Structure formats: C-alpha cells, structure tokens
Amino acid sequence: MPLSYSEQPVPAYSIWQATEESLKYLGDQWGASPGPWGVTGHLRAWDRTPFTVGVTATGALFLRNDQLGDATTLDLTATDTLDTVAQAIANAVGALY
C-alpha cells in the first residue's frame, strides 16, 4: 500500500547533491549547478545542452532535456543511496539526446 504524503521517506541528500555527484559518471566535459534552494539540479552537457533534475508532484525523480522539452522519470526511491541516484541520472541522459 502506498505511503501517504506525510509518510514519505526523506533522503539524506538533496537533488542538487545527486546532480553534482552524477558528474563523476558523466565526465569532465559536463557541468552542474544548483536550482533554487537545492530542490533542483541543472546539468550542462559538453555541447551546452541544458538538463534539469527534479521531483514531480507525485514524488518521482525526473530528468528533462530543457532544449528539447523531453523528460523521463527515473525508477528510484528516496531510500536509494546518493551513488545509485547519481548513476541513474548519468545513465538516463543518453536517452534524452
């Protein structure tokens, strides 16, 4: 049975931290910056393509190619480790080019 909104687990890291951590999997030609209050993260590809990492209203983590408008949700939970989330972000980028 799904948890109510108030019973959702809270990760020990922010979306911005997960976005920044994904750089170790994306490589040194990528950059990252925090969104307001660290609740989103922004990636910039080597060709300057912008991406946003955030959370939907239903609590799913998403990655969006801001240039094309394409987005995908990531099959993750708030209890996944920072490294697991960072790898998932890096792995999902290729599908949005």
Classify residue 38 by burial, with Cβ atoms within 10 Å: 0-12, 13-18, 19+.
Answer: middle
Per-residue pLDDT band for 3 (boundaries 50, 70, 90) equals low
Position 5 scores a pLDDT of: 66
Pairing type for strands 61-65 and 71-74 reads antiparallel
Sign of the dihedral through C-alpha 2, 54, 17, 25: positive
One-letter identity of residue 78: A
pLDDT above 90 coverage of the chain, percent? 79
pTM listed for this prediction = 0.91
Phi, psi of 81 (to 5 degrees): -70, 160
pLDDT above 70 coverage of the chain, percent? 95
Query: Is the pLDDT score of 62 beyond 90?
Result: yes
Per-residue pLDDT band for 67 (boundaries 50, 70, 90) equals very high
Average pLDDT over residues 41-70: 95
> 20: Cβ–Cβ under 8 A, 6 or more apart, which residues?
32, 34, 41
Average pLDDT over residues 16-33: 97
